[in-house]
Each structure stands twice: as structure tokens, then as C-alpha cells.
Structure 1
Amino acid sequence: MYILQKFFKQLVVNKLGIFSFTFFIVIFSSIVMRILEPETFPGWFDALWYVMTTVTTVGYGDFYPVTIAGRTYAIFIFLIGIGIAGLAIGKLVEALGAHRKRKEEGRLNFKGKGHFVIIGWSEKAKYAISEIIETHPELDIVLIDQLNITPITHKNVHYIQGDPSSESVLLQANINDAQSVLVFSDDSIQDSALADGKTLLVVTSVERLNHHIHSTVEIKKEENIQNFRHAKVDEFVLSHETVSRMAVRSAFSRGITEIYTQLLSYKEGENLFEVKKKGEWKTYKDAFEGLLKEGATLISDGSDLGINKKLNEPIREDARLYIICSKEVYESLT
């Protein structure tokens, strides 16, 4: 009795043991019932069906033992099998709950590839995630922050809790297989230099682990750009300067902020898109006129906005052509 008690005590602790023992009981009992009552259970699956409906307390009644030996063993199934199956189901529910809790707390590794990593939770990060989901519904997003629980729940958003400058945390986010990273400045740090210093530390750790990742960072002070260029950051967003400049432009050109907002968001109206060079486009004029016929306006090659001054020049092989058009027109071009 003591040995049996100790066995079940160990079984309760060991989840794998519970599932293994439950599987053994079900299969063994199916074999026994088939041997004891071959006429009642003409096939092996019939015996398995009876055992499963019994241990799960469903009891359809389509199969049941009729001999003394069969009923005697059925009593064993009632006493042992149902208890073990109930325990296994309970442990399964417990495991699922624990997995969900660990996911909400950001303690699970992300295994996907080609995802976006967003570092630092804020209202800006919230809008960024919303924009990504709006434009690329199937893209996976990994959010890294030090909050105790995920601030956002979405099937495409995976939360990682920890210091974003830590190698283990970045590896947990599978930074090696990410295509882009977006680093937001820590708004809780009032000193702009210190905030940029933390951002620089984070993006340096990211670039060290993944040299090919496309990095975009939010910077508080423009004079710190050179430091970020040295860290091989691809794109910069000057938070304070950008807002201030937009405010000044709107004061002199009323309604211009609506244009900025529309170009920055894919949700409505005309938007900014990048298209690939087509074989029939030899010059920028060819591209400009071809796109215009489709309902799109070519405005730049990369950061070069002087397209109208170089219409007769040949298009560079590595040209990055940006156009303004509706989402429907862009989809027809791709």
C-alpha cells in the first residue's frame, strides 16, 4: 500500500509521467477488454472506444461488457482509469494556463523569422504596431520592454520581457532572423543625452548580433546622429525636431499637417509607397510617365526629391523609386 501511495504521489508531481501512465492504462485496458470479450468488442478500435468513453465519463452505452471477467476489469477502469484520466486532463489544463501566463509575462522564446522587432513600449509604439498590422496583417511583431505583463494582446504580437540591451533578451526575440528593428526612445528619461545614450546602447547590441538588420531609431538630439551613424543605424527619427517643424509648417501653410498625416498612414487616401524599377523604364521620364498613366506620381529616388530635374537621365540599377498613389493602384503595380 505504501509503495502504491508513493507511486501515485510521484505521478502527481511528474506531468510527463501522468500522461505516459494514462496512455499505458488506456492501451492496456483496450487490449484486456478485447481479449476478455472478443464478441462484445469485435475490433481493437471498439475496445479502445469503450475504454476512452469510460475513462472520460462520457459513457455512450453503445459498448459494454457482459461477462463477469469483463465487468470485473471494468470496475478497475472505473476506480483507476477515471481518476488517472481526470488527473491528466487537469494537468493539461494547468499546463496550458501556465503557458499562457508565461506568454503574457514575456518569458517564451520567439521562433519565427522575418519579423519586426519593436523596442520600448509607449503610445508611439502602440501606433507603430497598429500601422504595421494595418499594412501587413500577416507580419509577426516582437515587442521588447520591461513591463511585468504584455501591454497589448494580438495574435501577431509576441511580447519579450527584459533589458533590450541584453544579449539573452535579444536572442529570446530571435533578433538574428528579424528583418527590421524599431527602437523608441525611453520617455521616462528626461535628459535627452541620457535617453539617446540608452538608445545607442540598445541599437549597438542589436547591430552586433545581426549586421544585416534594418534599424530605425528615435533620437532626441540631432547632434547625436553621428554617433548613431557610427553604429550603422539605417534610419533616424528626430522626435522633437520633427514635431516642431511640422507645427511651424502648419502655421505658414494651413492644412499641410493633413497631407503629412495622410502620407504617413496607410489607412486612407493617397499614400507613399516604394516600387521596383521595370525593364521598360530606361529613364526617369519613362518611369514618371508610365506611373502617371497608372494613377501614381513618382516623387523621388531614395531621398533624392529632384526627379523633375533628371527626367532624361537613366535610372540607376539600384534605384529606390517612391510614389504617391492609392493602395489599390499600388497593389495593381506590384
Structure 2
Amino acid sequence: MLWNKCIQFYFHLPIFVRLLLSVCLIMLLFGYIIHMIEPTHFPTFFDGIWWAFVTGSTVGYGDYVPLSTLGKTIGIILILAGGGLVTFYMATISAATIKHEKDLSEGKVSYKGTKHLIIIGWNERTRQLIDMIKTSHPYQDIVLLDQTKNKISYQDHSIHFIKGNPTADDILQKANIHAATHVVITSNPSLKENEADRQTILNTIAARGNNMEITIVAEILTEIQRKNAERAGANVIIRSNDFMSSLFFQSIFQASNIATDIIAKTLEQQQFCTIPIDQSLTSQTFRSCAQQLLENNKSLIGIIRNGEIIIHPSFELITKEDDQLIYLKSF
């Protein structure tokens, strides 16, 4: 009964562990046999093991060699049995390594880390976002979840790719959404605006259903779906069409690229940040807060009060305890 359990346990081990265990057992066995057959030339058990590994791996240093006919016969058997097994072991490791890297590139491997960021949807905005994150937060782990892309170079992007439907629970669990901190849901550029928003809302519902505490940032294209995205569980909603419309307006009526260049440079060199107001800054004027943050190379541009974003308020505005400060910070 015990022997059967040992055999079952052995065959349930990963193939690498089984092969390594088999190699070690064979080398121990032949090391013990040669030590018993020729104790003069192999005075210790370890000397026998050393000879077995050197011979079985076909390295052949020649510092220990059997002299008797029986010992040489054992050496021949070891070369035939152990050498082939060691070669097979190394070939298996090499093949498995290549297959694992291929599976990573094709999005077949589950993510095991924690405190990571999940991005749903691959497009140009996603690529730029990943570049910005890797520049400002190089140690932030990113998991990309997309069902349209077939392959992503693991080395080029330094992200973990998972291919699949972002509304499927098993795919979200492969991304380890339970241990993630944020989910960013981008709009699908290949769909019409209403269809893209509906897909974003479905993705939001699926993400919220798998993690009630995670922060979800969703891109919505039409104003009519904004409330639905909030009901679905999105914490932050980004209206990219509003931003693009503003850029078009500035380009038309400024009759130059100055406005768009300024915005592009701002986004390239600085990032928007929000923090709860420090107790030392409460009950002070906006001007005083801006001056104090400027000493730490932070440009205060607004506040969030009762859920309302106020950009460039009056310098005489008095801050309150529940305010959040909006500032720009250089990368």
C-alpha cells in the first residue's frame, strides 16, 4: 500500500521534478555500487557519487576511474542509462522553457503576482499609457487583457499578457483580479461609439463582480452612457471625446498648434495627481496652499470639493478638511 502511494505521488510530480529525482536516484545508486565494488579506488560514498555524476553527464574528468572488469561494466551501464537520462532531462528543460515563453507571448499563462494594474483592451492609448507607467513607476506590474491581439512580445513590453474575453470570470481570474489594485478599461476603437460603451459597461460589471474593492477607471465615449458606467461600478470615468473636442476647438480658433503643443508637452513631462489635503493646509487660502506645494516642485491647479472638480479657483478660496488637492508633478 505504501509503495503504491509512493508511485502515485511520484507520477503526480511535475515532469522536471520527476526527471531530476530520477537522475539523482540513479547517480546515488551507481555511486554506492562502485564504492562497494572498488572501495580502494573509491574510498568514500561521496567519491562514488562524484564519479557517477561526472560519468553519467559524459563530462569525464578522469580523476576517479574503475579498474576492475566489474567496475568498468558498471561504468558502461551508467553511461548508457544515466547519460541518456541526463540528456533527456536537459532537453526537456530547454523545450519547456521555450514553450513557457511562447505561452507568455500568446497570453496563455495565468498571472500569480499581487498589487498589479490590469488594463483591458490593446490600442495606441494603451501602449502610451504603459510607456508612461514604466517611465514614472518602473516597478509597477501590469497585466494586459485583450481578446483581439494574438501575440505580444514579453521582452519588449515588460507586461504580462492574457488573451481572452474580459467579461469571462475565468479570464479575469487568470489575471488574478482579486489581488489587483486598479482596472483600466479602454474603449474598443473598432466598434461604434454606442457599442464600444456597452462593451465597456459589460467589462466594468464583470470586473466589479470579481472584486468589489478594486478601483475601476473606464473610458466612455458618449455622455448618455456615463450614468450607466457609474451604476456598473466605475470609480473614475474618462470622457475622451470631450478632451478631443477641446483640442479641435483650440486648433481651429487659435489658428496654430500652440494649444495642442502645450497640452502634449504637459502630458509628456508631468502627471496629474490628487491627494487629500493635509491638516496644515486646511482653512488657508488657495494662494497659500499653492505657494507651499510649489516649494516641493508641485504645481497646484485645483481642488476637488464634494465630488466637484474646481480648476484654478479664486486665490482667496478657503480650503476645507474634506478637500482634495489637484497638482502637476514632473516625471
TM over 0.5: yes
Alpha-carbon offset, residue 275 of structure 1:
4.6
SS at match of 2:95: helix
SS at match of 2:160: strand
Alignment partner of 1:187 is 2:195:
no
One-letter amino acid of the counterpart of residue 281, structure 2: W
Rounded to whole Å, the distance in 2 between the matches of 1:36 and 1:74 is 12
Alpha-carbon offset, residue 276 of structure 1:
5.6
Change (3 A) 1:315 1:300: farther
Which residue pairs with 1:260 in the alignment? 263
Rounded to whole Å, the distance in 1 between the matches of 2:64 and 2:57 is 15
- Whether the 8 Å contact between 1:160 and 1:172 is mirrored in structure 2 is yes
Change (3 A) 1:148 1:51: farther
Which residue pairs with 2:311 in the alignment? 305
Change (3 A) 1:192 1:283: same
Alignment partner of 1:109 is 2:110:
yes
One-letter amino acid of the counterpart of residue 151, structure 1: I
TM-score, L = length of structure 1: 0.83
- Whether the 8 Å contact between 1:138 and 1:156 is mirrored in structure 2 is no
**How many correspondences in the alignment?**
309
Alignment partner of 1:321 is 2:322:
no
Rounded to whole Å, the distance in 1 between the matches of 2:263 and 2:272 is 10
Rounded to whole Å, the distance in 2 between the matches of 1:279 and 1:41 is 77
- Whether the 8 Å contact between 2:279 and 2:321 is mirrored in structure 1 is no
The superposition leaves residues 36-86 of structure 1 with CA deviations (integer Å, 9 ceiling, x where unpaired) of: 333433444333222222222222222222333322211111111111211
One-letter amino acid of the counterpart of residue 263, structure 2: Y
One-letter amino acid of the counterpart of residue 151, structure 2: T
The superposition leaves residues 226-250 of structure 1 with CA deviations (integer Å, 9 ceiling, x where unpaired) of: 1111112122222333212112123
One-letter amino acid of the counterpart of residue 180, structure 1: H
Alpha-carbon offset, residue 294 of structure 1:
3.2
One-letter amino acid of the counterpart of residue 143, structure 2: V
Moved more, 295-304 or 138-147: 295-304
One-letter amino acid of the counterpart of residue 223, structure 1: I
- Whether the 8 Å contact between 2:281 and 2:319 is mirrored in structure 1 is no
- Whether the 8 Å contact between 1:263 and 1:272 is mirrored in structure 2 is no
Alpha-carbon offset, residue 277 of structure 1:
4.1
Rounded to whole Å, the distance in 1 between the matches of 2:266 and 2:174 is 34
Question: Structure 1 vs Structure 2: percent identity of aligned residues?
Answer: 27
SS at match of 1:78: helix
Rounded to whole Å, the distance in 1 between the matches of 2:64 and 2:262 is 72
Which residue pairs with 1:205 in the alignment? 206
Alignment partner of 1:145 is 2:146:
yes
Alignment partner of 1:160 is 2:153:
no
Change (3 A) 1:39 1:320: farther
The superposition leaves residues 136-188 of structure 1 with CA deviations (integer Å, 9 ceiling, x where unpaired) of: 11111111112463324247411111111111100110111111111111222
Alpha-carbon offset, residue 295 of structure 1:
3.5
Which residue pairs with 1:230 in the alignment? 231
Which residue pairs with 1:283 in the alignment? 283
Which residue pairs with 1:272 in the alignment? 272
Moved more, 174-183 or 241-250: 241-250
- Whether the 8 Å contact between 1:145 and 1:163 is mirrored in structure 2 is yes
Rounded to whole Å, the distance in 1 between the matches of 2:107 and 2:84 is 34
Change (3 A) 1:24 1:167: same
Rounded to whole Å, the distance in 2 between the matches of 1:115 and 1:307 is 35
Which residue pairs with 1:3 in the alignment? none
Change (3 A) 1:241 1:324: closer
Rounded to whole Å, the distance in 2 between the matches of 1:240 and 1:216 is 16
CA RMSD of aligned residues (A): 2.5
Rounded to whole Å, the distance in 2 between the matches of 1:30 and 1:140 is 47
Which residue pairs with 2:3 in the alignment? none
TM-score, L = length of structure 2: 0.84
Unaligned runs of 5+ in 1: 1-10, 328-334
- Whether the 8 Å contact between 1:275 and 1:320 is mirrored in structure 2 is yes
Rounded to whole Å, the distance in 1 between the matches of 2:149 and 2:36 is 56
One-letter amino acid of the counterpart of residue 262, structure 2: I
Which residue pairs with 1:36 in the alignment? 37
After superposition, where does 1:4-15 map in structure 2 within 5 Å? Answer: 15=15
Moved more, 113-122 or 256-265: 256-265
Moved more, 83-92 or 278-287: 278-287
Rounded to whole Å, the distance in 2 between the matches of 1:278 and 1:37 is 80
Rounded to whole Å, the distance in 1 between the matches of 2:158 and 2:291 is 39
- Whether the 8 Å contact between 1:284 and 1:307 is mirrored in structure 2 is no
Rounded to whole Å, the distance in 1 between the matches of 2:218 and 2:226 is 10
Alignment partner of 1:87 is 2:91:
no
Unaligned runs of 5+ in 2: 1-10
